[in-house]
Amino acid sequence: MEASMRFDRQAIPALFVAWLVLVGSATAFYAGVNYLSLHLQKESVPLRSPLATLPSGIGGWDRCSDDIILSEAMVEELGTNKYIDRAYAIDGEPVNGVLRVHLAYYTGIIDAVPHIPERCWAASGLSQTLPSSHYELELDTSNWNMDSGVINTDTGQEYPTVELEDPITGQVETVHMPIGSIKMRLTEFQDPAKPDLRMLGGYFFIANGRSASDAMSVRRAAFNMTDKYSYYCKVQISGTIEYDTNGRYRQSYLEQCEDLISELLPHIMRKLPDWPRLEAPEPSSDSTVSLWTEEQPIHPLLGT
């Protein structure tokens, strides 16, 4: 029995060769990663300014109530403390129509998608009345510059830009808009106790300077291995509208979304990281890097 358990010294060369192969493979792997400038782990990047500083009045929309402040437990469930939950009403009068804007910002490691209406509303006891679908928003882009000359390195497409004037200083700033059309994922729910009303929730994402309509698109955009940084922001617009049999209520909701998002999107992009600046080749000087040293924890992205 002892003889059968005895180590065969003739196996030492083979084990040594196997060890050399493993070490060599690991060395070659990391050398290749460095040579190709790949980033297997993403660095976080802070917002340029808090989401709560979005304008309280914009276009024909005005904030009509206090922003919702989530409890610590809800923030932990959300997966980030960089959020805003605000209601806007047409002309500030809820009777004219109200939409609730929920933004949540995530940066660093991409795990999963954050809370979305399909999960949250179903978990709260509401009933889904129609399957979720995608809808391409027809935004007012009349003030967009489509010939900025700034190219997105991942897609080769040109960033549109918008000129925004600071309401306090009057200084005009050029804001880069997201690459791609805005496709919103629309879902519809009903409270069994209120059959005459429909809760409509639409959402999309801005990920590394590009628009995305679902979780897979977010992962593709925000986890490109050639990008050093990674972020995405969920933009969710919800509304409760009186039901009608001809479907006009859905069209009314979508038209309101298009109007509000047309006004709000440039201001959202002004808060998010300026992606063309981040994806540009890094200079040899440390002066640019120091612009992104604001402390901000990396929050894993949680599902429900």
Query: Which tens digit of pLDDT belongs to each residue from 160-219?
Result: 999 998 877 889 999 999 999 999 999 999 998 999 999 999 999 999 999 999 878 887
The DSSP string of 181-203 is: --EEEEEEEE-TT-TTEEEEEEE
What is the pLDDT at residue 302?
33
Confidence category of residue 232, pLDDT binned at 50, 70, 90: very high
Angle at alpha carbon of residue 167, lines to 163 and 168, rounded to 5°: 130
From 51, 188, 182, 184, select the one nearest 117 (Cα to Cα).
Answer: 188
Confidence category of residue 135, pLDDT binned at 50, 70, 90: very high
Identify the DSSP state of 143.
Answer: T
User: Which residues, listed in sequence order, are joined to residue 166 by a DSSP beta bridge?
Assistant: none
Give the Cα separation of 20 and 37 in Å (integer).
25
Confidence category of residue 294, pLDDT binned at 50, 70, 90: very low
What is the pLDDT at residue 217?
81
Give SS3 for 302: coil
Taking only the tens place, the pLDDT of each residue in 59-91 is 999 999 999 999 999 998 888 999 999 999 999
Average pLDDT of the chain?
Answer: 82
Q: Which position has the token pair 């995405």?
A: 232
CA distances from 125 to 53, 139, 170, 193, 208 (A): 33, 33, 48, 11, 34
**What mean pLDDT comes out for the span 260-287?**
83
With a pLDDT cut of 70, the percent of the chain lying above it is: 74
Q: Is the per-residue pLDDT at 99 higher than 50?
A: yes
CA distances from 295 to 77, 184, 202, 256, 286 (A): 21, 32, 31, 37, 17
What is the pLDDT at residue 298?
37
Q: Is the per-residue pLDDT at 18 higher than 70?
A: no
Give the Cα separation of 153 and 175 in Å (integer).
18
**Between 225 and 220, whose confidence is greater?**
220
Confidence category of residue 220, pLDDT binned at 50, 70, 90: confident
With a pLDDT cut of 90, the percent of the chain lying above it is: 56
What is the pLDDT at residue 188?
93
**Between 294 and 214, whose confidence is greater?**
214
CA distances from 251 to 33, 93, 129, 181, 254 (A): 49, 20, 16, 19, 5
What is the pLDDT at residue 290?
35
Give the Cα separation of 88 and 65 in Å (integer).
8
Element (H, E) at 164: strand 161-165
Give the Cα separation of 170 and 182 in Å (integer).
29
Give the Cα separation of 206 and 105 in Å (integer).
9
Q: Is the per-residue pLDDT at 7 higher than 60?
A: no
Q: Is the per-residue pLDDT at 269 higher than 80?
A: yes
User: Which residues, listed in sequence order, are joined to residue 98 by a DSSP beta bridge?
Assistant: 89
**What mean pLDDT comes out for the span 133-148?**
96
What is the pLDDT at residue 113?
55
